[in-house]
Amino acid sequence: MRKVIRIKNLDCANCAAELSDELNAIDGVENAAADVINQRVTLDFDGEHALKKAVYVITHFEKVEIVEGDAPAKRDLHWKETISIAAAVLFFVPALVLLLLGMGKWVRFALFLAAALAAGWDVLFTVGANFVKMFKGGFRLSMLFDENLLMTVAAIGAFAIGESMEGAAVMILYQIGELLQSIAVGSSRGAIASLMRLKSDVAIKLTEEGQIEIPPEELLIGDLILLRRGDRVPADCKIVEGETEFDTKSLTGEAYLRAAREGDEILSGCVNEGGAVKAKVVRPVSESAVAKILELVENSSAKKAKPEKFITRFARVYTPVVVLCALLIAVLPPLWQNYNFTTWILRALNFLVISCPCALIISVPLTYFSGVGTLARCGVLAKGAVGLDVLAKVKIAAFDKTGTLTEGRFRVAKTEGGARTLALAAAAEKNSSHPLAEAFVGIEAPEAKSCEEIAGMGISAVVEGKHVFVGNMRLMEKFSVPFEAVETSNLVVYVAEEGLPVGTIEIEDGLRENTGKVLSDLKEAGVEKLAVLTGDTRERAEKALSGLPIDEICSQLLPEEKSARAEALKAEGVLLYVGDGINDTPVMAVADVSAAMGGLGSDAAIEASDFVLVDDSLSALPKAVKGAKKTRRIVFENIVGSIAIKLALMGLSLFGLIPLWAAVFGDVGVMLLAVLNSMRMRRKL
């Protein structure tokens, strides 16, 4: 069983890793992940007993509390931390004045000690609690080793060797750093939480009795709703009366208004900027575009990229190793330098403080999370950091043609064979899930029985007691129907009855308006090869895609052949596949990373993909690639930069070139630099 538990007061990424470890140690908990950004714990467990134990661990972990219901926790104003720091400064300043004047040795010691306790009381409390946890459920030394222990040892050590000002400064600067980190995390959390504004609070339903206001969750498929100027669309719907324009930037990131008239589908979250229109609900709120956005973005941080997993494992080993190294630095060198322990203990404390891994632990997931949020504002939903990491390395992009590069809105352009041809085709296609069937909606047709889809070819059915074939030329050849191929750039549907030709139907499906620019932008973003995988004939595919910067067209492919061709493309480099239909899901599974069209795309394709293009617009795809590359670049900047600066500071501390307070300032500074660097992801792509 899986359960998502909303929490609050978990603002430290290292603490989240510790909480995850504690939960995973519980019998019956198969997988647990504490999420510092979304303030939630995801649990996979096998019984109520395990769940109760997990709830106990969560509620007894530092200051963490469980938030009841689905409402997000209130914004944290950090009053407690601010008051603690202010009180510490009030003690610290007069003590520093006395130190500079060389007066009141014991008075300033007492003031520095009061400052350290005012700033670090919760740090000391946490270390004590961790010491108790270390012996619960078996001896686990890892429960003790965290940044709280590093700061406590550093502060106590400083007081012990007579450096009381250093000891107080350690706690004050550390708490200032923790406060700034918490504010930074809260800012990113707020950026994603702002997506909640996509949800409408009320819907105006039209009934025979008149207009009634109801919660959007109560809307059903087929309900008529009124969309006035300024109203946010409460559920995915189709315009049935009137014309207007919609602001779609909350979904797609595009600033221009989108015109809509009768028959056009509008996704929830858009805002009506024109006149009032009537619309019919086509999907319930739980399956709407907004619901998909909120669910995918909230769950995105559960899928961690390799750098995130590396940092988590690194921190678990790194902290104990650093403590051991600091101990050796404090003990071994004095044995060869006239037992000068005071100097080397101070240097060991510097080393210990600088080594705190907070900068790495918070900045890496924060960067990925900011990347997911930035892509969401551009109209691309990432299902996790894993997809971002792979998308950044894409060298080959392959596309389905129909409904992806083309509009996927089919209509009958020409018929040969009269009304009987249309009627038979409509009868057979009525039971088909293929996008082509949309062209025959509304055409009067007899009932079809024994319908069977023949993959990649068409449909076999019995209409009015006669065996009918409706499909492409390969279907006719398979059953030896004597048709002559029609030469046209349109899709051609051949209709046969009792093994004899009846007629042909040409179906129009034009290219999306910005397809050429999108493909050019992808190449500019670093994609080296563009390919199209289609079941269409080569002649029609080439005519339909002429003028586009496509390197390879793979035509007349059956679904299983598409997967085989995708495997071959993968051998040339990291493969991105973009599609929209059920028949695309096997190819998406084969590709390294995939994207689905979110509006017209099937639920199966959306489920199988790593990214969802919310508004069926390919224009967001190049932004997604650029965003993924930028995210990965910032992640590695933070990893390499943080480690390099820390190693340099550690080296300086060993030679006694920096005091303890400067070591803390350096550690806090590295963390803030990494966090600020990760915030670059929130800029417009």
H-type alpha helices, 336-472: 341-354, 358-377, 385-391, 418-429
Model pLDDT for residues 548-592, shown as the tens digit of each residue: 899 999 988 876 788 889 999 999 999 999 987 656 778 888 888
H-type alpha helices, 222-339: 249-252, 289-299, 306-335
Active site residue 400: yes
CA distance 562 to 555: 9
Q: CATH fold of 220-283, please?
A: 2.70.150
Position 629 confidence tier, pLDDT thresholds 50, 70, 90 = very high
CATH architecture of 411-508: 3-Layer(aba) Sandwich (3.40)
What's the mean pLDDT in 301-311? 54
CA distance 177 to 85: 11
CA distance 14 to 147: 8
CA distance 185 to 670: 16
pLDDT at 72: 46
Model pLDDT for residues 439-496, shown as the tens digit of each residue: 888 788 888 888 888 877 889 999 999 999 999 888 999 999 999 888 777 788 999 9
Residue 368 has pLDDT above 50, yes or no: yes
Average pLDDT, the chain: 80
Q: What percent of the chain has pLDDT over 90?
A: 20
Q: Among the listed ranges 152-161, 176-185, 263-272, 616-625, which one has the minimum average pLDDT value? A: 176-185
Position 39 confidence tier, pLDDT thresholds 50, 70, 90 = confident
User: Which residue spans within 26-91 are E strands per DSSP?
Assistant: 29-35, 40-45, 65-66
Candidate list 231, 400, 521, 667, residue with the active-site label: 400
SS3 assignment for 313-365: HHHHHHHHHHHHHHHHHHHHHHHCCCCCHHHHHHHHHHHHHHCCCHHHHHHHH
CATH number for domain 370-406+512-629, candidates 3.40.50.1000, 3.30.470.10, 3.30.750.200, 3.30.70.980:
3.40.50.1000
Model pLDDT for residues 164-181, shown as the tens digit of each residue: 887 788 788 778 767 766
CB 158 within 8 A of CB 346: yes
* CATH code at 2-66: 3.30.70.100
Rg (CA), the chain: 32
User: Any idea where the domains of the chain sit in the sequence?
Assistant: 2-66, 79-192+299-359+631-660+677-682, 220-283, 370-406+512-629, 411-508
Provide CB contacts within 8 A for 522, sequence distance 6+. 397, 530, 621, 622, 625
CA distance 204 to 218: 11
DSSP three-state, residue 580: coil
In this structure, what are the phi and psi dihedrals at residue 403, rounded to the nearest 5 degrees? 85, -5
Model pLDDT for residues 143-165, shown as the tens digit of each residue: 666 667 777 877 887 787 777 88
- Quote the pTM value: 0.61
CB 66 within 8 A of CB 149: no
Describe the chain by its helix, strand, coil percentages, rounded to 5: 50, 20, 30
CB atoms under 10 Å from CB of 636, counted, come to 13
